[in-house]
Amino acid sequence: MTHTPLPDATLDQLFREARSQNGWTDTPVSETLIRAVYDLARMGPTSANCSPARFVFCASPEAKEKLGSFASEANRTKILAAPVTVIIGHDLKFYERIPELFPHNPGAKDWFSGSAALAETTAFRNGTLQGAYFMLAARSLGLDCGPMSGFNNAKVDEAFFAGTTIKSNFICSIGTGDPSKVFGRSPRLAFEDACRIE
Instruction: Give the residue, chosen from 5, 186, 187, 196, that forms a contact with ligand FMN under the rule CB under 6 A.
Output: 186
Q: Counting contacts by CB under 6 A, is residue 16 touching ligand FMN?
A: no
Instruction: Give the residue, chosen from 148, 156, 166, 174, that forms a contact with ligand FMN under the rule CB under 6 A.
Output: 148
Q: Counting contacts by CB under 6 A, is residue 185 touching ligand FMN?
A: yes
Instruction: Give the residue, chosen from 170, 176, 178, 181, that forms a contact with ligand FMN under the rule CB under 6 A.
Output: 170
Describe the strand order of the beta sheet including 53-58 as a list of residue ranges: 53-58, 84-91, 166-175, 144-148
Query: How many C-beta atoms surround the C-beta of residue 164 within 10 A?
Result: 13
Instruction: Give the residue, chosen from 100, 150, 154, 158, that forms a contact with ligand FMN under the rule CB under 6 A.
Output: 150
Q: Which residue is at the shortest CB distance from ligand FMN?
A: 150
Query: How many C-beta atoms surround the C-beta of residue 180 within 10 A?
Result: 7
Q: Say if residues 10 and 89 touch (Cβ distance below 8 Å).
A: no
Site for ligand FMN in 54-83 (CB under 6 A): 75
Reported as half-sphere exposure (CB side, CA atoms, 13 A), residue 146 has a value of 28
Q: Could you tell me the smallest distance in angstroms from the CB atom of residue 22 to ligand FMN?
A: 6
Size (the chain), residues? 198
DSSP bridge partners of 20: 145
Per CB under 6 A, residues contacting ligand FMN are: 19-20, 75, 147-150, 170, 185-186
